[in-house]
Structure 1
Amino acid sequence: MFLGLDFGTSAVKALLVDGAQTVLASATAPLSMQRPAAGHSEQDPRAWWQAMLDAVDDIGRNHAGALSAVKGIGLSGQMHGAVLLDHAGGVLRPAILWNDVRSALECSELEQAVPELRQITGNIAMPGFTAPKLLWLRKHEPATFAALRTVLLPKAYIRHRLTGEMIEEMSDASGTLWLDVGRRDWSDVMLAATGLSRLAMPRLVEGNAAAGTLRAELAARWHMTRRPVVAGGAGDNAAGAVGLAAIGAGDAFISLGTSGVLFAATDRFRPWPQAAVHAFCHALPNRWHQMGVTLSAAASLAWWATVTGCSEAQLLAEVGVPAKPSSALFLPYLGGERTPHNDGTIRGAFAGLSHDTDRRELTQAVLEGVAFSLRDCLDAISASGTRIEDADVIGGGSRSAAWIAIIASALGIPLHRLATGETGAAFGAARLARMAVTGEAPDVVCLAPARAETIPPRPDLAAAYAPRIAQYRALNRGIAAAVRQQ
């Protein structure tokens, strides 16, 4: 038996998986987020801990025998968050999260201080990353910075509570801007730029390596027959990739959730920061990955449903699979955009409206706008030399075959819908736990999920989309200043 724990922003999920990789039980415990000031986003790390206890206790009440047989525990979690500990291991302040944007100025300062930052880290300095948060802390909360002994990412804090060890793995560490991503080691240059040294960092391991043993009192709490090994684990997207078997060069998936992610596994470090492509270590040794991100994917459809007063299902049914592009264009930059623009101030827009434009045309424009933004991600990743020939699609948007058909035609590659419900990052974490216990090779454990349907590009729609994508990009260039948040 193996236990996967995923620490998200809105909930903690626990997943119990047996030796045949069948999910036996799951439990979720909710989390809340605090916004003490505009642009600030925080959580109390101790709330993660209590939510984890609640979720695992819930599994224990209903599946006590299976939980008692757990041999390994894998961790996944939200990336980039700064958990600040003092010399005694106590939490100094609430964690500053991935979606906190207070450190925008510090990002510029960090890029100026370390001209080689993008080559070392494979990324642009963005407020979401961890290092700029520490520059902000040193400037605005000097007493807290002076008391700081260790900086941990969210799941590393949980590991510390589970095992007593301060250990992090490569995929999550890649999102700090302190890791030399190509060398898979902390960068002394980047640490020094934020007033830190390796003494403030946890020890690094690979995601499928053993990274501590569960404390005896916790093993007793859950009536476990042995003290399970705790694996290195993974950041949320890398853990999801392990669950989907997206671990070899060319493997790819699209996450069509609130935001949209195009994830591509690579066999070497391929930085492409000039187009805001993320280049991170994968959770498995000698493997890396790239990500293009569009910030408002399913969120764009949810926004439009709210505006129209219709359900998302009703809007999707009205569009179906279109015979031709919408007469309208939509820029899905409701909260800024990541790839390829790296602009948090740009905003969305409709264009090309006429007296004949109706709700169905505008809904189709919204769906196509998200598809075109994912095409921007695909082209940005392809420009780095990575080739993506097909991809799985996960997330809430994957339930719409029509939307996937639009995206497939915009990207020009076949897309696959999965046969079974998603288990997400927690399932990938459980797989990493299994590898840490058994020593099995990734290719043995990371089996691809069954696919229910392959949706190829429609040649007629793909041909019609080519000039529309060019118009979409021209629209962005032409009105970017007008729609930028002042």
Structure 2
Amino acid sequence: MTFIGIDIGTSAVKAVLVDETERAVAEAEASLATSRPRPAWSEQDPAAWWATTETVLGRLRAAEPRAFAAVEALGLSGQMHGAVLLDAEDRVLRPAILWNDARAVVECRVLEERVPGLGRIAGVPAMPGFTAPKLLWLRTHEPEVATRIARVLLPKDYVRLQLTGEHVTDLSDAAGTLWLDEARRAWSPEILAASGLTLAHVPRLVEGSDPAGTIRPEIADRLGLPRGVLVAGGAGDAAAGGIGIGAVEDGDAFCSIGTSAQYLVAADSYRPYPEAFIHAFCHALPGRWTQTAALLNGASCLAWAARLLGETDIGALLARVTAAYRGPSRLLFLPYLTGERTPHNDADARGVLFGIDPDSSATDVVQAVLEGVAFSFAEAQDCLADAGTVPGQVAAIGGGARSRIWIRILANVLNRPITLYAGSEKGPAFGAARLARLALTGESPQEVCRKPPVAAVIEPEPDLVAAYRPLDARFRRLYRSLKEEFRLAGA
């Protein structure tokens, strides 16, 4: 008995093949391209998600044909908030508008006016990256597309449609649309109407650990999977990452450093705090929610810096930073390359490298980038504290968790021990595989969603904690000083 987890990310599709002992017997990854046809726009072709999914499944099959032939269930995770627009024949009407697209600023204000108390119902105030304001933008700017919309799906659920023929999403991913009544765990007809939609436009809701269909026979044959493979509800990428490292009980916390970044704390009740732009969303398991500080810029900042410096080997670049590290950088980096959500809700904010002089080196720049993302996490931690949530030990997951120097910096900036779990870089894909198992076997989450073995705990170092504190304050002042300039540049 084996399970597959697939994560439809922004920069890549990742898949993992897991046996019944939770050993990853095969992994595969293939990259995705993002289109930016105008400033602040971010789009992808849904057909590329499906083609890339076929590619990574083919690689799993080639790596472990016997285990692949024994697959009984599959789970999906994916980037959240994307608007996949389908006509009545399930044909894609235009490229999907992604989570880091900032075009729908005006529409956010419209939604807030139409639905007083939106943040309390949907778990967070309206922000441009969410799905709902994108639909209002389309009605104004692309009415010929808007009038043909029959269904709106999220990225992973477009892949599900290709696999099963079903229009289904899970509650954790649905939470990121702004159309979900988070406390009721049901679609909100009021918010849908304010977006010009009805219940007929949105997919059926299931819990992430529930069955959500089976792979169509012709698709199973094409992929080389057994017929009748069950597909679980799955999860948005942040919630799936939590499932993967066992962050399911009240107070379990982790920092996810992927293309974007999240500081997520699991909760046993719905606790909205829209005042600090904390996202209070449904978790991927029944009766559980999360409080999340969502950061639009994570490991994408490191990829940007490497590209800027002409570095193709990020591992070697980080090794040089590690060798040169003596304490906080003299440079400051605002990591807002694509704007920011928590705590600023500022689509106009942009990246800034401050303090460059003739002696500044490539390693200085990269270290400042790592520190800038860490300072963003510190602001996120303060927002969670304002919401009444103060995590103790925090885990780290995602591609950024592979960098020991980054985690060392993060531990000192947050002044929290950072736990690294074995296999935590698999993150959402492994969590999706766990949800597949739950959907198939009916086991309890406590049995399946255990914390993996601890690989390391990175403790804060008192001297460095003290050294970073004034720089954290300067980081926050720098944003405040430039906020009006960002607005004017955006206008």
TM-score (norm 1): 0.91
Say whether residues 1:344 and 2:333 are aligned partners: no
User: Are 2:440 and 1:430 aligned?
Assistant: no
SS in 2 for 1:51: helix
Q: Does 1:155 align with 2:156?
A: yes
* Residues 89-139 of structure 1, C-alpha deviations (whole Å, 9 max, x = no match): 232232222222222221121112112111111112122111111111222
> RMSD across aligned C-alpha pairs, in angstroms?
2.5
Aligned partner letter, 1:212: G
* Aligned-pair CA distance for 1:360: 6.5
**1:370: Cα distance to partner?**
2.6
SS in 2 for 1:49: helix
Whether the 8 Å contact between 1:318 and 1:360 is mirrored in structure 2 is: no
Residue 479 of structure 2 is aligned to residue 476 of structure 1: yes
SS in 1 for 2:101: coil
Q: Deviation string for 1:31-83 (max 9, x for gaps)?
A: 33333433333333233222222322333344333222211111111211112
Q: Using the alignment, how far apart are the partners of 1:239 and 1:138 within structure 2?
A: 32
- Distance between the aligned counterparts of 1:326 and 1:11, measured in 2? 31
Distance 1:458 1:223 in 2: 51
Match of 2:166 in 1: 165
Matched to 1:32, the amino acid is A
Q: CA contact under 8 A between 1:298 and 1:397: conserved in structure 2?
A: yes
**Does the 8 A contact of 1:328 with 1:351 survive in 2?**
yes
Q: Could you tell me how far 1:231 is from its partner in structure 2?
A: 0.5
Check conservation: 2:418, 2:459, Cα contact below 8 A.
Answer: yes
Matched letter for residue 45 of structure 1: P
Does the residue aligned with 1:125 lie in a helix, a strand or coil? Answer: coil
Structure 1 position 441 matched with structure 2 position 444: yes
Would the alpha carbon gap of residues 236 and 141 (structure 1) be closer, same or farther in structure 2, given more than 3 Å must change? Answer: same
Moved more, 325-334 or 123-132: 325-334
Match of 1:416 in 2: 419
| Corresponding position: 1:212 with 2:213 | yes
Q: Secondary structure at the match of 1:165?
A: coil
Cα 1:199–1:367, aligned 2, differ >3 Å: closer, same or farther? closer
CA contact (8 A) 1:316 1:400 kept: no
Paired residue secondary structure (1:2)? strand
Structure 2 residue 269 is matched with structure 1 residue 268: yes
| Mean Cα deviation higher: 432-441 or 442-451 | 442-451
Describe the shift of the 1:210–1:406 C-alpha distance in structure 2 as closer, same or farther (beyond 3 A). Answer: same
Inter-CA distance 329–193: structure 2 relative to 1 (3 Å threshold): same
Equivalenced residue count is 484
Secondary structure of 1:20 counterpart: coil
1:37-436, aligned counterparts within 5 Å?
Answer: 37-305=38-306, 312-313=317-318, 315-320=320-325, 322=327, 325-350=328-353, 364-420=367-423, 422-436=425-439
1:460 aligns with 2:463: yes
Q: CA 1:313 to 1:385, structure 2 compared with 1: closer, same or farther past 3 Å?
A: same
Cα gap change, 1:234 to 1:61, in 2 (>3 Å): same
Determine the C-alpha separation between the residues in 2 that align with 1:169 and 1:102: 26
* Post-superposition offset of 1:288: 1.0
Q: Against the structure 1 CA distance between its residues 363 and 46, is the aligned structure 2 distance closer, same or farther, given a 3 Å change threshold?
A: closer
In structure 2, C-alpha distance between the alignment counterparts of 1:298 and 1:56, rounded to whole Å: 25
Distance 1:360 1:40 in 2: 30
Q: Which amino acid aligns with 1:165?
A: E
Moved more, 257-266 or 127-136: 257-266
Cα deviation for residue 318 of structure 1 reads 4.5
With the length of structure 2 as denominator, give the TM-score of the two structures. 0.90
**C-alpha deviations, 1:229-253, integer Å up to 9, x for none?**
1110001111111111111111111
Gaps spanning 5+ residues in structure 2: where? Answer: none
* Aligned residue identity for 1:466: R
Matching of residue 21 in structure 1 with residue 26 in structure 2: no
Q: Secondary structure at 2:287's aligned position in 1?
A: coil
Specify whether residues 473 and 422 from structure 1 end up closer, same or farther in structure 2 by C-alpha distance, changes over 3 A only.
closer
- d(CA) in 2 for partners of 1:333, 1:70: 41
Could you tell me the percent identity over the aligned residues?
Answer: 51
Distance 2:17 2:358 in 1: 55
Q: For 2:385 and 2:231, how far apart are their aligned partners in 1? A: 36
**Structure 1 residue 333 displacement after superposition:** 3.0
Is 233-242 or 394-403 further displaced after alignment?
Answer: 394-403
After TM superposition, give the deviation of residue 277 of structure 1 in Å.
Answer: 1.8
Q: CA deviation at 1:168?
A: 1.1
| Alpha carbons of structure 1 residues 416 and 320: separation in structure 2 relative to 1, 3 Å | farther
Letter in 2 for 1:407: L
Moved more, 107-116 or 343-352: 343-352
Q: Which runs of 5+ in 1 are unaligned?
A: none
Query: 1:12 and 1:399 mapped to 2: Cα distance?
Result: 18
- Checking the alignment, whether the CA contact within 8 Å between 1:251 and 1:264 is kept in structure 2 is yes
